[in-house]
A = this chain, B = another copy of it.
């Protein structure tokens, strides 16, 4: 028994502790095809090697969310195996683009701890960094999770709550070197609207819906070597349902957002994110976006849109009730920066 990893509990963490996560993973074209099958993305930059080449990429970039899920997945055995809830994301920046053949690893530092008043759980803040092929940074983000205590009598740590920036400043967005959108082909991209066409406050309903199934989210979750048992084992929850990995909803909503945001080719930053309610097989996902902000970048032709991407399991509608809480049909509220031709 002792050889099996049961995961860490709240009292096992210390502020400043660094965890080198296991299982480096080489990503390749096979992962790209799986991702295509699972979500159906149509962003031309990841779909066509020719399109990528025309825009200054030596090798085609993988979807940014492949990077995100891979880096995230490595943290699960050390961070969230005993998590009750994944509470939020912040300060996420993509620092270079991952290509087929890159080997990804990740590390996390514990940057905050706060025991809950019930004494049974606590909140753990971690800053996770993903690297390609050794030491090339690819992603840096914070997430916080509620983690069970092994022993309710274990003493509470001194509370440390990190101050997180509400958004990544536009000046800090990483634009890939050599990116040149002068030759951008809007017909091939399938969307006429460019940076200048979007207005702050504008809402875009992405129209389409997808009804979720269990085999698909399990195949996705395994692709990222995410081992949280609630995603796989129907006996792990009282309701007998598998809980769908929140990243599955992010990817599905992002793919749906092509319809209206087809030129938002790259994700530059994740400002904030919440999985507002759990998703299960049978739910039909829809998505809408709100333009929260706009910014220019130092790279000519490349603009940034700050977008709120909301996934719901009903029709597009309000986000929060009168009590300020997310409505029950809201699954995801993700605030991110995308790069788009000006």
Contact = CB atoms under 8 A, between A and B. Distances in A.
What is the copy number of this chain in the assembly? 3
Across the A-B interface, the 8 shortest Cβ-Cβ residue pairs: A30-B33, A22-B190, A40-B222, A24-B48, A209-B233, A37-B219, A215-B215, A30-B30
Interface in A87-105: 101, 103, 105
Contacts of A4: 204-207, 259-260
A17 interface: no
Interface in A275-318: 284
B190 A77 contact: yes
B28 A33 contact: yes
Contacts of A234: 211, 284
A225 interface: yes
A38 to B, nearest CB: 7
A8 interface: no
A118 interface: no
Contacts of A134: 50
A23 interface: yes
A199 to B, nearest CB: 11
Contacts of A189: 22-23
A101 B52 CA distance: 13
Interface of A: 1, 3-6, 20, 22-26, 28-34, 36-40, 42, 44, 47-51, 60, 77, 101, 103, 105, 133-134, 187-191, 193, 197, 203-211, 213-216, 218-223, 225, 227, 229, 232-236, 242, 259-262, 284
A26 B222 contact: no
A98 B258 CA distance: 27
A225 B37 contact: no
Contacts of A60: 26
Contacts of A23: 42, 44, 47-48, 188-190
Given A24-B44, A38-B219, A49-B26, A233 B210 contact: yes
A101 B225 CA distance: 24
A253 to B, nearest CB: 14
Contact of A209 (B38, B204, B235, B261): B235
Nearest to A211: B234
Nearest to A223: B37
A122 to B, nearest CB: 23
Contacts of A36: 30-31, 34, 222-223, 225
B32 A34 contact: no
Contacts of A203: 1
Contact of A40 (B29, B227, B236): B227
Given A24-B44, A28-B30, 4 more contacts: A40-B221, A50-B134, A209-B229, A227-B259
A25 B3 contact: no
14 contacts: A22-B190, A23-B42, A23-B44, A24-B51, A26-B48, A28-B32, A30-B31, A34-B36, A39-B222, A40-B221, A40-B227, A105-B188, A211-B232, A216-B218
